[in-house]
A and B are shown apart, each in its own frame.
Chain A
Amino acid sequence: MTTSTVTPAVPADQAAPAGQKAKRSSPGTVALLMLLPAAVLMITFLIIPILLTLGLAFTNARLISPEPARFIGLDNFARLFQNDTFWASLRNTIVFAVVIVPIQSAVALGLAVLVNVKMRGTNFFRTVYFLPVVTSIVVVSMLWLFMYQPDGLINALLAKIGIQGPDWLGNPNTALFAIIVLSIWQACGMHMVIWLSGLQTIPGELYEAADLDGATKFQQFLHVTWPGLRATRTFILITITIAAFSLFAQVNIMTDGGPLDATTTLVFQAVRVGFEQQQTGYASAISLVFFILVLIVTMINRYLTRDKDVR
């Protein structure tokens, strides 16, 4: 974000004197022109909605109403902070992110290391692990919905080894866990590919040298692979965190936020309140809280990763 806004500004300044020579082909104009399509889209679909949300959050705007919206100050937020479902949503969102970020990146890294082995058939496994990613999340959720049923595939398998499986999605204690497992399964292929690209940037000589020094495979991983993946790590951390916070589709299809608010999330609650309950203003307040939450987490992320880069 920051780099893309800074880049055009610099050449535009330099272009001012040079522009008198050849107005048409000045690099500033070209840069601006190239920026235009993206900028128009970003402003229309990102900046303006964010600003609108900021304004609407302090009104009683409704989706369907003959009355114009009125300014009501902080009422929406006061209502929100007294709402149990909101706190449940916040808790679930954070739990989901805290669990999924380390586990999903670890699983993806494990898979990446496995499929990075130079032997026949790795391409087959790469494709298999990547398949869930290219499958629509709606389809994946429907499939798992059937598998999670009390007499579904998973419980049938558990019954084979003598375990009476719970009603995964119908039990408040297991519902969020069930969604976490499915989400990791669905998304880890994506991050496997990113890890893989990172792994392949590490020169083979380093491993040869480590071999000569008598390092074990585990030592090689710890002292060659892990440091070599620094840039990839940052990228994966940020993308998984943001994806984890915006959990919505799985919940919408599989549980509707239930049972007993066990799986409701901030995005799910905002959509429900804004569209089903037609309270645009109140939903904007939820979105604003969500925006601030993601902003804070991203800033922490950036701060931590930048610190390491400098060193």
Chain B
Amino acid sequence: MKSRTIKRLATVILLAMAPTTLVACAKGGSTASSEDTAGGTLTMWTHNAGNKNELAAIEAIVTDFNASQQKYKVEVQAFPQDSYNQSVVAAAAAKKLPCILDIDGPNVPNWAWAGYLAPIEGMDDILSKYLPTTVGKYKDKTYSFGYYDVALTIVSRESVLKKYGIRVPTVDQPWTQDEFMAGLKKIKDSGDFDYPLDIATSFTGEWWPYAYSPFLQSFGGDLINRTDYKSAEGVLNGDAAVQWATWFRSLVTDKYVPLKSGTDPAKDFINGKSAMLYSGTWTAVDTRKKFGDDTVFLPVPDFGQGPKIGGGSWQWGVSTNCANAAGAQEYLKFSGADKYVASVATATTNIPTTAAAAATVKGYESGGENEVFRTYSEKFALLRPVTPGYPFIATEFTKVAQDILNGSDPKQSLDQAAKNIDANQESNNYFE
């Protein structure tokens, strides 16, 4: 008896599950096919499933858009950031790209070249007011734009700088290399901190090229020669680059920075383990909570060619796979308004890309405590190389920077990286 009941139960469960799985399949199929019909649903993919605030802000825009007209309906599908890029690549291979999608800034040229992205039309007026680093361009066409940018800064405490007699640098007068190193030495010699500076070497992935290639650029080197994007020879392994590498390694050998930072460098800074923290604007909330007005967000040092920071964060574009290109373009135009720039920037506590939006976001208004971040973005930000070869360059730079920090021969490692990058650009026929 008992086993029969169990069998029956199992059958019922199986039967009950079958329709749901079928429905799930059918649902997946229908969203894909509805993209082919004119009007109707536009699928939109975003990477921020793990970021509640940002996702909510994006969903609010979509709700507004759907309510503003009858013709199109945008549907959001959120992915976790870790698997987002792979999902897009897989979808592109299967020709199942969504109509609207977001893209990490430096990947835009790669995806535009690969034919994933369609140029954005008729937004030049709106985008002319955006920070240049938040607009994704490739070969004179605009492919994407983002609502915000992020700035890199050196976080410290005014009281600490004062105690060791270190000048507080300004946008117009940042530290020189000598001044910076002398400051680090003073703090280190005092023995009050585990390390004078933390540059967050425990972060992985895109952080390395994003955070450390600007130092290289400030020294006068670069990831690739930007006149024609054909070769890294002479810029990634020239004298300036070797100087950068030697300096970078000396940070570790002189015990100014930990070879490997803790899992959360911001926490170490807050707990007083490090006197300065090289990080992004996202640490502002937590550090201010702890140190209040004592917290200062300093411009990065000038190593010869002016202070440099990375630019370009997540941006939005239209896929070539979209049967409803007009609708997708319309959505982007709708979403590019200052109002939405302000709402997304507020939700992410990042830098609003337009001045008009900045005026309405708390902290970024004229004289606001965050205004300085926008100034850094405006004055120092440099895009990562605009070439479809960038993802490769990024991995090569990450590896060479890690090797150098661990003590490999600077010239030899940089030569090898430059050679690899050149070989990759060449084997792709320079992405012509």
Interface majority SS on B: helix, strand, loop or mixed? helix
Is B402 a contact partner of A256 (Cβ separation < 8 A)? Answer: yes
Is A258 a contact partner of B402 (Cβ separation < 8 A)? Answer: yes
Q: Given A170-B260, A258-B406, A260-B406, is A60 in contact with B115 using a C-beta cutoff of 8 Å?
A: no
**A172–B113 alpha-carbon span in the complex (Å):** 39
Using a CB-CB cutoff of 8 Å, which residues 258-301 of chain A contact chain B? 258-261, 272, 275-279
- B427's contact among A60, A63, A146, A167, by CB below 8 Å, is which? A60
Q: Please tell me if A64 contacts chain B, counting CB pairs below 8 Å.
A: yes
Is B110 a contact partner of A64 (Cβ separation < 8 A)? Answer: yes
Is A277 a contact partner of B392 (Cβ separation < 8 A)? Answer: yes
Is B427 a contact partner of A260 (Cβ separation < 8 A)? Answer: no
- A256's contact among B115, B204, B392, B416, by CB below 8 Å, is which? B204
Is A66 a contact partner of B113 (Cβ separation < 8 A)? Answer: yes
- Give chain B residues whose Cβ lies under 8 Å from the Cβ of A65: 114, 428
**A64–B395 alpha-carbon span in the complex (Å):** 15
Is B260 a contact partner of A260 (Cβ separation < 8 A)? Answer: no
Q: Given A65-B114, A170-B260, is A258 in contact with B395 using a C-beta cutoff of 8 Å?
A: no
**A150–B423 alpha-carbon span in the complex (Å):** 38
Q: How far is the CB of B107 from chain A (nearest CB, A)?
A: 9
Q: Give the contact-size bracket for chain A.
A: 20 to 34
Binary flags per residue of B384-413, CB closer than 8 Å to A gives 1, else 0: 000000011001100100110011100000
From A84, which residue of chain B is reached at the shortest CB distance?
B416
Q: Given A65-B428, A66-B114, is A167 in contact with B408 using a C-beta cutoff of 8 Å?
A: no
- Give chain A residues whose Cβ lies under 8 Å from the Cβ of B392: 277-279
Using a CB-CB cutoff of 8 Å, which residues 28-42 of chain A contact chain B? none
Is A167 a contact partner of B114 (Cβ separation < 8 A)? Answer: no
Is B395 a contact partner of A272 (Cβ separation < 8 A)? Answer: yes
- Give chain A residues whose Cβ lies under 8 Å from the Cβ of B110: 64
Is B111 a contact partner of A167 (Cβ separation < 8 A)? Answer: no
Q: How far is the CB of B19 from chain A (nearest CB, A)?
A: 24
- B402's contact among A63, A146, A259, by CB below 8 Å, is which? A259
Is B408 a contact partner of A63 (Cβ separation < 8 A)? Answer: no
Q: Given A63-B89, A260-B403, is A278 in contact with B260 using a C-beta cutoff of 8 Å?
A: no
**A79–B114 alpha-carbon span in the complex (Å):** 25
Q: Given A64-B111, A277-B391, A278-B392, is A167 in contact with B403 using a C-beta cutoff of 8 Å?
A: no
Is A276 a contact partner of B260 (Cβ separation < 8 A)? Answer: no
- Give chain B residues whose Cβ lies under 8 Å from the Cβ of A278: 391-392
Using a CB-CB cutoff of 8 Å, which residues 111-170 of chain A contact chain B? 146, 149-150, 167, 169-170
Which of A60, A62, A64, A258 is most buried by chain B, counting CB atoms within 10 A of its CB? Answer: A64
Q: Please tell me if B259 contacts chain A, counting CB pairs below 8 Å.
A: yes
- Give chain A residues whose Cβ lies under 8 Å from the Cβ of B262: 149
Q: Given A277-B392, A277-B395, is A258 in contact with B259 using a C-beta cutoff of 8 Å?
A: no
Q: How far is the CB of B206 from chain A (nearest CB, A)?
A: 11
- Give chain B residues whose Cβ lies under 8 Å from the Cβ of A276: 391, 395
Is B428 a contact partner of A259 (Cβ separation < 8 A)? Answer: no
- B259's contact among A79, A167, A260, by CB below 8 Å, is which? A167
**A60–B114 alpha-carbon span in the complex (Å):** 15
- Give chain B residues whose Cβ lies under 8 Å from the Cβ of A261: 403
**A158–B427 alpha-carbon span in the complex (Å):** 51
- Give chain A residues whose Cβ lies under 8 Å from the Cβ of B86: 275
From A63, which residue of chain B is reached at the shortest CB distance?
B89
**A14–B402 alpha-carbon span in the complex (Å):** 64
- Give chain B residues whose Cβ lies under 8 Å from the Cβ of A277: 391-392, 395-396, 424
Q: How far is the CB of A86 from chain B (nearest CB, A)?
A: 12
**A60–B428 alpha-carbon span in the complex (Å):** 9
Is A259 a contact partner of B406 (Cβ separation < 8 A)? Answer: yes
**A60–B427 alpha-carbon span in the complex (Å):** 8
Q: How far is the CB of B119 from chain A (nearest CB, A)?
A: 15
Using a CB-CB cutoff of 8 Å, which residues 47-105 of chain B contact chain A? 86, 89, 92
**A214–B211 alpha-carbon span in the complex (Å):** 72
Using a CB-CB cutoff of 8 Å, which residues 169-185 of chain A contact chain B? 169-170, 172
**A275–B90 alpha-carbon span in the complex (Å):** 12
From B398, which residue of chain A is reached at the shortest CB distance?
A256
**A259–B396 alpha-carbon span in the complex (Å):** 15
**A106–B256 alpha-carbon span in the complex (Å):** 45
From B111, which residue of chain A is reached at the shortest CB distance?
A64
- Give chain A residues whose Cβ lies under 8 Å from the Cβ of B408: 260
Q: Given A260-B408, A277-B392, is A170 in contact with B89 using a C-beta cutoff of 8 Å?
A: no
**A220–B47 alpha-carbon span in the complex (Å):** 62
Binary flags per residue of B221-243, CB closer than 8 Å to A gives 1, else 0: 00000000000000000000000
- Give chain B residues whose Cβ lies under 8 Å from the Cβ of A63: 89
- Give chain B residues whose Cβ lies under 8 Å from the Cβ of A66: 113-115
- Give chain B residues whose Cβ lies under 8 Å from the Cβ of A79: 423
Binary flags per residue of A228-271, CB closer than 8 Å to B gives 1, else 0: 00000000000000000000000000001111110000000000
**A65–B402 alpha-carbon span in the complex (Å):** 28
**A146–B202 alpha-carbon span in the complex (Å):** 12
- Give chain A residues whose Cβ lies under 8 Å from the Cβ of B260: 149-150, 167, 169-170
From B429, which residue of chain A is reached at the shortest CB distance?
A67
From B406, which residue of chain A is reached at the shortest CB distance?
A259
Q: How far is the CB of B365 from chain A (nearest CB, A)?
A: 41
From A276, which residue of chain B is reached at the shortest CB distance?
B395
**A263–B86 alpha-carbon span in the complex (Å):** 25
- Give chain B residues whose Cβ lies under 8 Å from the Cβ of A169: 260
Q: Given A60-B427, A63-B89, A66-B115, is A260 in contact with B407 using a C-beta cutoff of 8 Å?
A: yes
**A64–B111 alpha-carbon span in the complex (Å):** 8
**A258–B395 alpha-carbon span in the complex (Å):** 13
Q: How far is the CB of B36 from chain A (nearest CB, A)?
A: 22
Q: How far is the CB of A98 from chain B (nearest CB, A)?
A: 25
**A60–B399 alpha-carbon span in the complex (Å):** 23
- Give chain B residues whose Cβ lies under 8 Å from the Cβ of A257: 399
Give 6 new A-B contacts, CB below 8 A, not counting A150-B260, A259-B403, A260-B408. A167-B259, A258-B399, A260-B403, A261-B403, A277-B424, A278-B391
13 pairs, CB–CB < 8 Å, chain A vs chain B: A63-B89, A64-B114, A65-B428, A66-B114, A67-B429, A167-B260, A169-B260, A170-B259, A256-B402, A258-B403, A258-B406, A260-B406, A277-B395
Which 10 pairs show the lowest CB-CB distances between chains A and B?
Answer: A259-B406, A64-B114, A66-B115, A276-B395, A170-B260, A277-B392, A260-B406, A258-B402, A277-B395, A170-B259
